[in-house]
Structure 1
Amino acid sequence: MKMNLYPKLAWHGISKNKKTYVPFLLTSIGLVMMFYIVSYLTYNKSVKQMRGGDDMQMILSWGVPVVAFFVVIFLFYMNSFLMRRRKTEFGLYNILGMGKSNIARILLWQNFMLLVVSAAGGLGMGILLSKLAELCAAKMLSNQASLAFVIEPSAVRNTLFLTVLSFVLILLYSLGQIHVAKPIELLHGEKTGEKPPKARWILALIGVVLLGTAYYLAVTTREPVQALLVLFVAIVLVIVGSYLLFICGSVALCKMLQKNKKYYYKLNHFISVSSMSYRMKRNGASLASICILSTGVLVMISSSLCLRIGEDESLHARYPRDIEVSILTKDYDQSIAAASYIEQQVDAVLQASHQTRKNELAYNNLNFAALKQGSDISVKQYTEVSGTQYAESIDKLVMLNIVTLDTYEKITGTTETLGENEVLLHMFRGKYSDDSLNIDGQFQFHVQKQVDAYI
């Protein structure tokens, strides 16, 4: 058999089934384009140099494997339709004398053609729209983007690797289906009815547990730094749990409804429940993908909107005044002398510019980080923590801001009375559960009360 016959047959199969292959190619080109743009923003130096660009690239780096996962899932889902439509053609080739090795070569050429078109089209569209994505990122971060047009080599490499890997996996899956199928099964593959779906109770239960664990982590995690550490784990659990629930849990639910004779054997329920189990078996993966992507879009839109709406309030909370002057000293007497000097310099500048003080606040305080365990505060343990120990102790990390009673009364405009070794305590988040405070075992204080008023 001539070698050039295989590419001709492969191209003939694609051209004759263009109504099926065109949607597949458009989908694959869009997926490749999307992955390249995300990778481009992750590695682009111009984005990194923007104010806030490092944080954006860190978050995008977490999203790259998630996007890659969905690319593979969608390509597999689209390929299942192609194989179902092409089985009759392959069965006819087999009956006319072609062995399965010959059909495998046709499949190899078809996948190669689809790979070339998808990679070239997706990369071309991605490179064409990458600058627009960069400008949108600069607009979101209120920065100026570079006008230079750049093709990011790392993004091109990752995109080509993912595209080739996806089509290799699709080819192996298709060859496996052809290898195990009999010629008569291939010939009638498109007309063959589906086998009744089986209820996989263990996988459905695992999906419920994974999804419940993810939501538990989301509800119970309070500290912002700790939330960043468990965010990726929660996302993975939600994705896996959603797929198991849509694919296995939905079928298991339909089987459970079928066992309920009073519910199932009714005209309105009999057909709908029976057909629903077949539909969920066939379309569960695609519905789960749509659900997860839709949820991601809603989370992104709502989070961005909340950040935009609360931008001024957050800015005022963090920086309530236009100018801040800080003096770092290790001695209290030095801080008093330095504060007096700063006062004189500020007055001189204001007098020279014909300005007056407004919304002024000046005070001395002692700031340091420590680790909290119950009523014990340890500065020493914090200084010794490093590497993986820091990640394990992140939920115990606290920042202490200590002021004198006179300074507190000046700041809040209130009058308080404290005895010896007594303190007023204000928690930025939550409530302090103990009535004592022990710092490194050397300073013991009694918490007279917890107050709400502070800067």
Structure 2
Amino acid sequence: MVKKKKKRHLLPVLAINGILKNNSIYGPYIFAGAFAVFVFFTLSSIIVNDLVYTLPYSGYIKVLMMIGLVVLGIILVPFLLYTNSFLIKQRKKELALYTILGLGKKHISIMLLIETLVIYLVVLFGGITTGLVLGKFMFILLLNLSGLDLHIQFELNGKAFLNTMVFFLILYLFTLIKNLVSVYRLTPSELMRSHKENDREPRFAVLRGSIGVIVLCGGYWIAINSKVDGFIFTNFFLAIIFVIIGTYCIFKAGLHVLLTKMRKNKRFYYKAQNFITVSGIHQRINKSSTSLSNMCIYSTMIIITLLCTVSLFFGMTHIVNYRYAYDVEMIFENQVTSSIPMENVKQFNKMVYIDLSLVQEENHFSVSEDEYAPKEKVRFLTQEQYEEFGNESLNLEDGEVAVFTNGPDLNFKEIHLGDQTFTVTEELEKIVGVNKSYGNVYLNVIYVILKNEKMVENTFHELGIDGKLAYKTKYIVMLNEENKVETIEKLSLWTSQQPGMLSFDDVISGEADTKSMAGGLLFLGIFCGIVFLICFLIIMYYKQISEGHDDRYNFWVMQKVGLSDGEVKSTIRRQIMTVFFIPLLFATIHTLVAIQMIVRLFAVIGLFEESVIVLSSIGVIVFYIFIYMFSYLKTSKTYYRIVRM
């Protein structure tokens, strides 16, 4: 009975000593957890702060912060599982000694429970304390990036504390259960040997490697060929899943197949340096493949997150300039009878038109009652209405049309509207008040200009639309810079008082709305990028430690059989460079393939300047290569120090 009590009192001491004694591996793990708690707590605090949503243009903030929480949760689960598996593997010899000294698996389970509880409390305390100290600064940063009122208070809410505690409690309980299962499955002798055991070669390596290549190519195909339509985001996430699965399969089995072929090449393999490097990697292919694939995936996440953040930062002006070729736009169901306030107005134009949503098959347009059928917005107006809007004169005859689109050129010689065929006499380069971008394939509107109203009526009849034509009237206004805000407010008030008012839009509100959306995305990009980078650095650090411990005995043997210190260093350098730069190569390829899809995703929010995205990609990739090399140089010292112990 006394012995049992002593054991119980000893367990908390052993648990805390286990963490302190292994601070070189637990330190980064705890730091990453605390930072994740800080980010999670900060985002939760913003989401539950009701005062934020009383501000104008803050509608994007809640949605974006919730997306950030989901992304953070998705990333943290595999990261904690991987790092936890590394930690427990390093501890198995120590746990085996405890069992030999008299501790049963029940006592070890209690000790692991105490360790997990201590880590959870330290991580929670560190992260929430940091959130309390820096939360207001983070909140002001978000408001500043989003262009919102900086006088709003950062309020603490019990929901944020509860959400954070529950989420991370579930995560750490899951890792505890995983550790307990692995300990209960093994005998003391198996625990003693398990940290040295090499992972078995993958079964069906050729098949799995081939599947990996096929799935990866499938992800690439989706990324390259996806169109900007309602499925663009679905295709984006599908491509991500394919690339992740393909990457894991290639690193898990494809790398094994490649190294096997290298070993069969006698000219290459039986050189001293190649023999040692290739055989060393091959012995730990399964363990290495998991680490390498994780490094590759996190590297890709970092590059793409930074790429999107930088592109958005430099592209905000382009988004606003494209959306607003005017200062004010007012749309009504019919023509306005009362006089429009003209104070401070520099330019004023009026367009009368009819909008239809038509199914397009090349140059054929038709009406469809299928609400799920992909449709294009087609805007019809007469030659007189077109010229009245301030455009150049046209000279159309019966059966002729002029066309314009604010996206890529149509290049049609003929256009079929229902059963009626028209000759396209001219594809216009511009229309007053409308900006054109050849990258706009999602938000485009097709303008069809006919000779007169009779031709419009006949066309609608052929399309199966009879009755009175529902014309809309659009007014666009350019203002003098002086007193622009006051004039916009007057026009907004006047518009709201008119019958048949459909919409009012102005450049000031548009800029604020765009900045709110972009600011939230920038805020998320900054924090997600930092989280991804921390995860990557810790995985690389653990990988170096793991490789160092695995190679220490092997390199001691090499020195005993006659290899000089210089040859040992050369072998280490070749092996580390081979192992650690393959993920960077794959991550760069993943990013280059993803650029076309990123361009299309940005097109959805109105950023059509491909040059901004391409230049940002080049800059981010070069920047990340330097970060990667710096991390490699720093962690390789840890590797060599362990090897020489």
- Taking structure 2 as the reference length, what is the TM-score of the superposition? 0.58
Alignment partner of 1:426: what SS? Answer: strand
Name the structure 2 match of 1:365.
Answer: 353
Deviation at 1:317, TM superposition (A): 2.5
Are residue 448 (structure 1) and residue 424 (structure 2) matched? yes
Name the structure 1 match of 2:382.
Answer: 404
Name the structure 1 match of 2:612.
Answer: none
**Aligned mate of 1:166, from 160, 164, 171:** 171
Are residue 222 (structure 1) and residue 242 (structure 2) matched? no
Alignment partner of 2:357: what SS? Answer: strand
Deviation at 1:140, TM superposition (A): 1.6
- 1:53 and 1:279 map into 2 onto residues whose CA distance is 51
- 1:449 and 1:277 map into 2 onto residues whose CA distance is 68
The 1:261–1:430 alpha-carbon spacing in structure 2 relative to 1, beyond 3 Å, is farther
Name the structure 2 match of 1:295.
Answer: 300
- 2:252 and 2:80 map into 1 onto residues whose CA distance is 17
Alignment partner of 2:350: what SS? Answer: coil
- 2:358 and 2:146 map into 1 onto residues whose CA distance is 33
Counterpart of 2:427 in structure 1: which amino acid?
Answer: V
Counterpart of 1:120 in structure 2: which amino acid?
Answer: F
- 2:243 and 2:318 map into 1 onto residues whose CA distance is 32
Name the structure 1 match of 2:398.
Answer: 420
Are residue 122 (structure 1) and residue 100 (structure 2) matched? no
The answer as to whether partners of 1:423 and 1:445 remain within 8 angstroms in 2 is no
Counterpart of 2:16 in structure 1: which amino acid?
Answer: W
- 1:314 and 1:15 map into 2 onto residues whose CA distance is 52
- 1:52 and 1:267 map into 2 onto residues whose CA distance is 66
- 1:414 and 1:309 map into 2 onto residues whose CA distance is 35
The answer as to whether partners of 1:40 and 1:155 remain within 8 angstroms in 2 is yes
Counterpart of 1:67 in structure 2: which amino acid?
Answer: L
The answer as to whether partners of 2:41 and 2:164 remain within 8 angstroms in 1 is yes
Counterpart of 1:99 in structure 2: which amino acid?
Answer: G
Name the structure 2 match of 1:204.
Answer: 209
The 1:70–1:321 alpha-carbon spacing in structure 2 relative to 1, beyond 3 Å, is closer
Name the structure 2 match of 1:103.
Answer: 108
Alignment partner of 2:300: what SS? Answer: helix
- 2:179 and 2:412 map into 1 onto residues whose CA distance is 65
Counterpart of 1:33 in structure 2: which amino acid?
Answer: F
Alignment partner of 1:448: what SS? Answer: strand
Alignment partner of 2:405: what SS? Answer: coil
Q: Deviations over 1:13-44 (max 9, x none)?
A: 33333343333222221222233334444554
The answer as to whether partners of 2:93 and 2:192 remain within 8 angstroms in 1 is yes
The answer as to whether partners of 1:211 and 1:237 remain within 8 angstroms in 2 is yes
Q: RMSD value over aligned CA atoms?
A: 3.3
Are residue 142 (structure 1) and residue 130 (structure 2) matched? no
- 1:107 and 1:286 map into 2 onto residues whose CA distance is 24
Aligned pairs for 1:350-361 (under 5 A) are 350=343, 358-361=346-349
The 1:239–1:134 alpha-carbon spacing in structure 2 relative to 1, beyond 3 Å, is farther
- 2:52 and 2:244 map into 1 onto residues whose CA distance is 29
Gaps of 5+ in 2: 432-645
For these two proteins, the number of residue pairs brought into alignment is 425
Deviates more, 1:96-105 or 1:290-299: 290-299
The answer as to whether partners of 1:436 and 1:445 remain within 8 angstroms in 2 is yes
Deviates more, 1:86-95 or 1:279-288: 279-288
Deviation at 1:411, TM superposition (A): 5.9
Are residue 266 (structure 1) and residue 276 (structure 2) matched? no
Deviation at 1:287, TM superposition (A): 4.0
Deviation at 1:154, TM superposition (A): 4.7
Gaps of 5+ in 1: 330-334
- 1:158 and 1:254 map into 2 onto residues whose CA distance is 47
Alignment partner of 1:423: what SS? Answer: strand
- 2:307 and 2:209 map into 1 onto residues whose CA distance is 30
- 1:264 and 1:48 map into 2 onto residues whose CA distance is 65
The answer as to whether partners of 2:201 and 2:285 remain within 8 angstroms in 1 is no
The answer as to whether partners of 2:51 and 2:152 remain within 8 angstroms in 1 is no
**Aligned mate of 1:194, from 198, 201, 217:** 198
The 1:43–1:219 alpha-carbon spacing in structure 2 relative to 1, beyond 3 Å, is farther
Are residue 250 (structure 1) and residue 266 (structure 2) matched? no
Name the structure 2 match of 1:332.
Answer: none
Q: Deviations over 1:279-328 (max 9, x none)?
A: 66334444444443443343333334333434334323322222334332
**Aligned mate of 2:41, from 18, 36, 46:** 36
Q: Deviations over 1:37-58 (max 9, x none)?
A: 3444455445545555433443
Name the structure 2 match of 1:23.
Answer: 28
**Aligned mate of 2:13, from 5, 8, 13:** 8
The answer as to whether partners of 1:51 and 1:141 remain within 8 angstroms in 2 is no
- 1:49 and 1:435 map into 2 onto residues whose CA distance is 52
Counterpart of 2:129 in structure 1: which amino acid?
Answer: G
The answer as to whether partners of 2:412 and 2:424 remain within 8 angstroms in 1 is no
- 1:256 and 1:153 map into 2 onto residues whose CA distance is 59
- 1:241 and 1:66 map into 2 onto residues whose CA distance is 21
The answer as to whether partners of 2:200 and 2:286 remain within 8 angstroms in 1 is no
Are residue 185 (structure 1) and residue 196 (structure 2) matched? no
The answer as to whether partners of 2:45 and 2:155 remain within 8 angstroms in 1 is no
Q: Deviations over 1:341-398 (max 9, x none)?
A: 56x544xx44xxxx5x5444333222233443455545562xx62xxx4xxx4xx231
- 2:259 and 2:210 map into 1 onto residues whose CA distance is 15
Deviation at 1:448, TM superposition (A): 1.9
Deviation at 1:67, TM superposition (A): 1.9
Name the structure 1 match of 2:560.
Answer: none
Structure with higher RCO (Cα < 8 A, 6+ apart): 2
The answer as to whether partners of 1:436 and 1:444 remain within 8 angstroms in 2 is no
- 2:229 and 2:156 map into 1 onto residues whose CA distance is 35
Alignment partner of 1:368: what SS? Answer: strand
Counterpart of 1:361 in structure 2: which amino acid?
Answer: N
The answer as to whether partners of 1:32 and 1:122 remain within 8 angstroms in 2 is yes
Counterpart of 2:327 in structure 1: which amino acid?
Answer: D
What's the % identity of the aligned pairs? Answer: 25
Deviation at 1:414, TM superposition (A): 4.8
Alignment partner of 2:332: what SS? Answer: coil
The answer as to whether partners of 1:50 and 1:138 remain within 8 angstroms in 2 is no
- 2:216 and 2:267 map into 1 onto residues whose CA distance is 31
Name the structure 1 match of 2:88.
Answer: 83
